[in-house]
């Protein structure tokens, strides 16, 4: 099994464990660290990353040309959309809907998905192309899993911060690809000089080099 697939499963396992933390259930109805997201909605959004993987594994990418990750993020309207944009409102509503049955039900569904994906991913052929229906274009399976890896790592940190616990520690095998992709996206969005200055010259650093 490829390294990105292994990294995804490690991150997904960690995320499912975090979803089951007592602190998450205790803060379920409280506001999260993300503006306009409740803890429940954020937990639902985190768990939904496994649903997205299930959906693409059931897709047929035959006949579709996969685009690059930079093109994927450039095409995705949520990247630069404001909080009130319909796509971000829809994301928040989707998280709330996923969490509507409560923390125990959400964790149980996530565990079932994780078990199925742990069995399925090693058998997927190298270079498999998947059609991402929510986006309307195709990616390689490994590139799609890298996008979910970023979501899992970023939102696990959001959720942990929301409920006052330590962000789960993850190995370099997981963190390395996430940092690399975020850095590439930051350079694409802000230019190399802005990123270099932020990492090396605080006195000349721009206000932000956020990838999203």
Q: Above 90 in pLDDT, residue 115?
A: yes
Note the pLDDT tens digit of each residue in 171-208: 999 999 999 999 999 998 899 999 999 999 989 988 88
Query: How many helices (H) and strands (E) would you count in the chain?
Result: 9, 2
- Of all residues in the chain, what percent carry a pLDDT higher than 70? 96
For the chain, give every domain's residue range: 3-168
Tokens for 132, please give them. Answer: 């991402």
Q: What is the DSSP letter of 140?
A: E
Determine contact, residues 175/153, Cβ cutoff 8 Å.
yes
Note the pLDDT tens digit of each residue in 120-163: 999 999 999 999 998 899 999 999 999 999 999 999 999 999 99
Q: What is the CATH number of domain 3-168?
A: 1.20.120.450
The mean predicted confidence, pLDDT, of the chain is: 93
Site of tokens 């330590």: 166
């Amino acid at each position: 099994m490829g390294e990105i697939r292994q990294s995804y499963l490690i991150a997904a396992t960690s995320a499912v464990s975090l979803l089951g933390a007592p602190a998450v259930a205790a803060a379920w109805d409280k506001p999260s660290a993300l503006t306009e997201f409740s803890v429940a909605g954020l937990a639902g959004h985190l768990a939904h990353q496994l649903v997205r993987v299930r959906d693409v594994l059931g897709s047929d990418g035959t006949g579709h040309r996969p685009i690059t990750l930079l093109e994927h993020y450039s095409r995705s309207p949520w990247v630069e959309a404001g909080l009130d944009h319909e796509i971000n409102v829809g994301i928040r509503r989707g998280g709330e809907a996923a969490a509507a049955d409560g923390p125990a039900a959400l964790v149980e569904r996530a565990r079932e998905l994780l078990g199925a994906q742990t069995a399925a991913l090693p058998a997927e052929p190298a270079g498999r192309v998947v059609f991402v229906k929510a986006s309307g274009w195709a990616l390689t399976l490994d590139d799609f899993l890298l996008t979910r890896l970023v979501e899992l790592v970023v939102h696990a940190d959001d959720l942990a911060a929301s409920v006052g616990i330590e962000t789960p520690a993850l190995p370099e095998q997981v963190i390395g690809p996430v940092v690399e992709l975020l850095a590439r996206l930051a350079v694409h969005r802000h230019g190399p000089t802005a990123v270099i200055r932020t990492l090396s010259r605080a006195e000349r650093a721009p206000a932000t080099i956020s990838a999203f």
